[in-house]
Structure formats: C-alpha cells, structure tokens
Amino acid sequence: MRVMLLTSDRKTAQLYSDAAEETSALRLCVMKHIGQVLERLFRDPFDALLSDDVSVLQTQIRKCRVRWPAHTFLLIDRPIGTRQLPQTLTYCFLKDGDPKEILRQIACFPNGASRRRDPEAEISCFLQQTGVPVSLYGFAYLRIALRVLLSVKELLDVSAIDDLYALISAMTGVDANAAEHAIRHAIDTAWMRADTDLLDKLFGYTVRSDRGAPSNAAFLFGTADHIRVIREGNRYDAEGIA
C-alpha cells in the first residue's frame, strides 16, 4: 500500500518515517507542502493520504484535478466540525497516537494489497461478543470510539470521554449528546443479554442486577484495554475472547 504523509512538522515526519520502516504492508512518502503532493499525484498514484492539515486539504481538493488517493486520513489534536472535513475523508486519528498503530490500521483498509486483519472487523466482533446489537446506532459509535482509543499509545484519561463524543459528532454529523445516549442504550442492552462470565472478566466484578451496567467511560476504557492486551499478546480468536 502506497501512503503519502503531508506534514510540515519535522518531528511528526520523523516519527512516521521510523514507524513505516517497521510496517512492511505499506510504503510511506513524506511531503512538506500541498504543492509537492499535487505534483507527485500527477505523476504517481497513491492508495492513501495522511495529513495533519485539514484546511489546506479542503481548499486544494476543490481546486485541483488530480487522481486523489482512495483514502484520506487526518491527524487531529482536537474535535473538528463537520464543515471542516474534506469530502474524501476516510477516518480521523488523534495526532498524539502511536504512529506504528495508526499505520497498521491504515494498512488494513481495502486496497487489494493487504491481507492483514481488519481492525474494524476485529472491534465489531468483540462488541458482538459482549452483547451489543449490531442494529443499534450505539454499536457504530462504540466502534468509532474504540478505534480512536486503540490508536493512542496509552489509554486516555477518563475525562477525555467528552472529546470522544465530540469526535463522533464531527465524523457522523450526529449531536454529541445523541451519541452519548445511543452508546448508553447500547451498553444497557448488552448488559441484559451478554454472558455474565465474560462481563465479569472484562470489568473485574461479578455482574448483578442491582449493580447495573458500567458507565460509558468504564465500558469503553475497559473494552479498549482488553483488546489492547489481546493484540499485544497476539491471542485474539474470532470465535471467542482469549
């Protein structure tokens, strides 16, 4: 998979260049200016574009006629409004996320070159095993939140939960409060139908009807931590949780 990184920040460029050397599924080309990107796209096709500059991309995408990559990914350090998002946006990652993990996830997007596990399918499978119905809006919002949490080196502080709602809002157009309530409903539903032994394993206490479901933050951070441990130990099993 051929990926182009657009950033004027030397530290970011170096971090991703180093990470790319350890990611065999993709080749990374670093560009400092949008002009360099356009010149290169006129000559060579790329599968994906990763950038930390949403405003430049939004302007240039409207004005130029080049073969734009199939996927556009953004590195952001704060939630952004839907009006600022390029029409070709595929996904947002937190700027302080782990470059190796972000590149690993990018390499899993469909392009015909990678056969590695799709992180979206991995998260979906996990959520289904915890009892979250796929038919609920909250399922999709949980999947977005978990993907963001898993892209950072360490789990964020619980106070970051509001930022996650705002990010879901920016990516889907749904109100942040509506996203929060949808996730709450999905978790409550899962708590009524999932295997109690599994929930006890995930959240560290015996599930009882008088205790109710965990908070949104407890569910998200607990689930993200469990998936992270499974990935690091390479013990993920699509037929069950290790």
* pLDDT tens per residue across all 242 residues of the chain: 889 998 989 999 999 999 998 887 788 999 888 777 777 777 788 888 898 887 766 655 555 566 778 788 888 776 555 555 555 677 778 787 889 888 988 887 766 444 345 566 778 878 877 888 888 899 989 988 888 888 765 555 556 677 788 888 887 888 989 999 999 999 988 888 766 666 666 666 544 445 567 888 888 888 888 787 776 664 444 334 44
Q: Domain ranges for the chain, please list them.
A: 2-107, 119-233
Contact 33, 9 (CB under 8 A): no
- Fold equal for 2-107 and 119-233: no
CATH architecture of 119-233: Orthogonal Bundle (1.10)
Given the candidates 3.40.50.2300, 3.40.50.10320, 3.40.50.300, 3.40.50.1820, the CATH classification of the domain at 2-107 is 3.40.50.2300
The DSSP secondary-structure symbol of 8 reads S
Q: Which of 237, 77, 54 is nearest to 160 (CA)?
A: 77
Rounded to an integer, what distance in angstroms lies between the CA atom of residue 20 and that of residue 9? 17
**Residue 17 amino acid letter:** S
Could you write out the three-class secondary structure of 70-94?
CEEEEEECCCCCHHHCCCCEEEEEE
Question: What is the model's pTM?
Answer: 0.56
